[in-house]
Amino acid sequence: MDIILWLESLFLGMLEGLTEFIPVSSTAHLLLAADILDFQSPGRSFEVLIQLGSILAIVTVYCGKLWHIAAAVPHSPAARHFVLGVVLAFLPAAIVGAGLHGLIKTVFFESPRLICSSLILGGIVLLLVDKLPLKPHYDSAYRYPLWLCLVIGCFQCLAVIPGVSRSGSTIIGALLCGADKRSAAEFSFFLAMPTMLGAFTFDLYKNHAALSVNDGVSIALGFIAAFLAGIFVVRRLLHYVAGHGYAVFAWWRIIVGLSGFAALNSGFIA
């Protein structure tokens, strides 16, 4: 039985890493897949805690840039401006996520129809935004004005509803406010670090007492799979969206949402 559990953990971890940084909602994919597999996690902690693997994937890929920014902060106004921008973008979701933690975990995470609806609606919105004749004014994630960072952070608050997508909401917010597609995705990468780390720390604090050794093994396996899959996506996503946009992700959201409703109606998901 443990082998089956470990295989499921690896699969779900891989799913997390592959979907975390693209605008399709990794949380929705994890929750729907866990329901289909009847994968049990105390307080749905597995789905949150394995995000640490995805965080480390970004850190690994961007370690050079992160080190350069950190070293430049004491003497570079541009570096301090970038760090402040990421902090401002992080704060709204941190406040909303902490305040609504109970509602998110006990209601939103347990509402597959809400998740599927959010996937489909978000896919339609992403299709519309991707086709808008927007004229980018900002092409560097490192030089976004502070007001834009704060607006992106407010958009990220929508992602407390699973299916909306953290990366999707931040990317759409950035695009609507004048960012180009590549820099919008890259800023979403940087914003993911404090956001996901905060969610990981808060959830671990809330649920650590309910976790068993077996849960720890599952989380460790999911973490490893998420880390490896996350590296693959982060290294390739920026080049792809710069040339192709986000339409393929929008259609994928719609397909998964419709498939989720089909699974609900057929009894595969309770």
The Cα–Cα gap between 165 and 174 comes to: 14
What does the pLDDT read at residue 125? 95
- Reported as a single tens digit per residue, the pLDDT across 60-86 is 999 999 999 999 999 999 999 999 999
Q: Where are the alpha helices (DSSP H) in the chain?
A: 2-19, 26-37, 45-49, 51-61, 63-72, 77-99, 101-103, 112-131, 146-156, 166-176, 181-207, 213-244, 247-266
Asked if the structure places residue 187 within a domain, the reply is yes
pLDDT band at 47 (very low <50, low <70, confident <90, very high): confident
What are the b/e assignments for 208-229, b being 16+ CB within 10 Å? eeebeeebeebbbbbbbbbbeb
Distance of CA 25 to the CA centre of its chain: 6
Distance between CA atoms of 168 and 175, rounded to whole angstroms?
Answer: 10
Assigned domain for 270 exists = no
Write down the pLDDT at residue 161.
94
Which of 121, 118, 93 is CA-nearest to residue 108?
A: 118
82 falls within a domain: yes
Residues 66 and 85: their CA atoms lie apart, in Å, by 15
Our count of domains for the chain comes to: 1
Please determine, for residue 255, whether its predicted confidence score (pLDDT) is greater than 90.
Answer: yes
Rounded CA-CA distance 156/177 in Å is 14
* pLDDT tens digit sequence for 182-240: 999 999 999 999 998 888 888 888 877 777 777 888 999 999 999 999 999 988 887 88
Residue 207 phi, psi (nearest 5):
-120, 5
The pLDDT assigned to 82 comes to 96
Question: Per mean pLDDT, which range of 1-10, 22-31, 88-97, 172-181 is the poorest?
Answer: 1-10
CA distances from 72 to 75, 79, 190, 232 (A): 6, 6, 17, 28
174 in a domain, yes or no? yes
Tokens of 158: 């929508």
Beta bridge mates, 168: none
CB neighbours of 15 closer than 8 A, spacing ≥ 6? Answer: 26, 29, 30, 33, 229
190 is a domain residue: yes
Beta-carbon neighbour count of residue 101 at 10 Å? 15
The mean pLDDT of 30-42, rounded to a whole number, is 88
Task: Write down the pTM of the prediction.
Answer: 0.89
Q: Which domain holds residue 63?
A: 2-35+46-264
Q: Tell me: the pLDDT tens digits for 113-123?
A: 999 999 999 99
pLDDT digits (tens, 9 = 90+) for 83-139: 999 999 999 999 999 899 889 988 999 899 999 999 999 999 999 998 888 899 999
- Residue 269 within a domain: no
179: three-class secondary structure by DSSP: strand
Give 192: exposed, middle or buried? Use CB within 10 Å, 0-12, 13-18, 19+.
buried
In a domain, 40, yes or no: no
pLDDT for residue 1 is more than 70:
no
Spatial distance between the Cα atoms of 105 and 47, rounded to a whole number of angstroms: 11
119 in a structural domain? yes
Q: What is the model's pLDDT at position 270?
A: 64
